[in-house]
């Protein structure tokens, strides 16, 4: 951890012993490790999630991480806006107790329609 970050963050020392190695492993392997998503993509996801859960710690960390990956201020704003749209519609769906099976069926119909439109445009 110290080699990668230059220090052991004080908040990491607050983790209970059984969770500390596992928690660092999650960060190291998923957040900072080589995965199918690029580092840039992961930072934008982090910014969106941090904004959606209203965590000032996560928001600060993920925005700084994104800036290290060359994400622009406009892209940061867009990521936050996209997160707010998802949270907004999630609130509508949950608050109105929309039937999940109906939602899935409608979404599948929409996806089918969009694919058909794209195929027709390619012809």
In this predicted model, what pLDDT tens digit does every residue of 36-70 receive, in sequence order?
A: 999 999 999 999 999 999 999 999 999 999 999 99
- pLDDT above 90 (res 88): yes
Q: How far apart are CA 16 and CA 21, in angstroms?
A: 9
- pLDDT above 90 (res 9): no
Identify the CA nearest to 23 among candidates 35, 40, 11. Answer: 11
Q: Is 114 exposed, middle or buried (0-12, 13-18, 19+ CB in 10 A)?
A: exposed
Split at pLDDT 50, 70, 90, the class of 3 is: confident
Q: How far apart are CA 99 and CA 107, in angstroms?
A: 12
- pTM for this predicted structure: 0.80
Q: How far apart are CA 28 and CA 34, in angstroms?
A: 9
Q: What is the pLDDT of residue 83?
A: 95
């Amino acid at each position: 951890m110290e080699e990668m970050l230059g220090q052991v963050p004080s908040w990491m020392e607050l983790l209970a012993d059984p969770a500390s190695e596992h928690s660092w492993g999650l960060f190291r392997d998923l957040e900072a490790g080589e995965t199918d998503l690029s580092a840039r993509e992961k930072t934008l996801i982090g910014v969106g999630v941090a904004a959606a859960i209203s965590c000032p710690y996560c928001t600060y960390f993920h925005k700084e991480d994104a800036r290290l990956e060359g994400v622009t201020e406009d892209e940061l704003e867009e990521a936050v806006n996209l997160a707010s749209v998802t949270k907004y519609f999630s609130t509508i769906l949950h608050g109105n107790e929309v039937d999940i099976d109906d939602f899935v069926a409608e979404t599948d119909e929409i996806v089918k329609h969009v694919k058909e439109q794209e195929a027709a445009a390619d012809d």
